Amino acid sequence: DGGITQSPKYLFRKEGQNVTLSCEQNLNHDAMYWYRQDPGQGLRLIYYSQIVNDFQKGDIAEGYSVSREKKESFPLTVTSAQKNPTAFYLCASRPGAGELFFGEGSRLTVL
């Protein structure tokens, strides 16, 4: 089954803990993205990566970190420095040109 897989679907975290969200794609896409989706604010770009071992900050990168060691994988770490981490996180990928393909999302709740 091809596509983008995000895990876990739901995640709970205590304040002060780091947490890593997984994003894997088997579409052979070069570019990968992380967005945060909040009610009334739409999708805001956290990080994106055009190729392996390269990534750029988006509009709201503070408190987040990423890595791109493999083409298929683009994990996002939500660090304790992120002041308001409770949100719905969407991962996407894109071939050289064209549309974004999205995962089903991960909902993070900080207790």
Partner 1 sequence: AQRVTQPEKLLSVFKGAPVELKCNYSYSGSPELFWYVQYSRQRLQLLLRHISRESIKGFTADLNKGETSFHLKKPFAQEEDSAMYYCALHTSGTYKYIFGTGTRLKVLA
Contacts of 59 (CB under 8 A, 6+ apart): 44, 45, 46
Stretch that binds partner 1, among 13-21, 60-68, 72-80, 96-104 (CB under 8 A): 96-104
Kindly state whether residue 62 participates in binding partner 1, applying the rule CB under 8 A.
no
The distance of closest approach from Cβ of residue 21 to partner 1 in the complex, given in angstroms and rounded to an integer, is: 15
Of 55 and 110, nearer to partner 1 (C-beta) is: 55
Rounded alpha-carbon distances, angstroms, from residue 34 to 1, 19, 85: 22, 15, 14
Stretch that binds partner 1, among 12-20, 39-47, 62-70, 74-82 (CB under 8 A): 39-47
Cβ neighbourhood burial of 107 (10 Å; 0-12, 13-18, 19+): middle
Side chain identity at residue 88, one-letter code: F
Return residues touching partner 1 (CB under 8 A). Answer: 31, 33, 35, 40-45, 48, 50, 58, 90, 92, 94, 99-100, 102-105
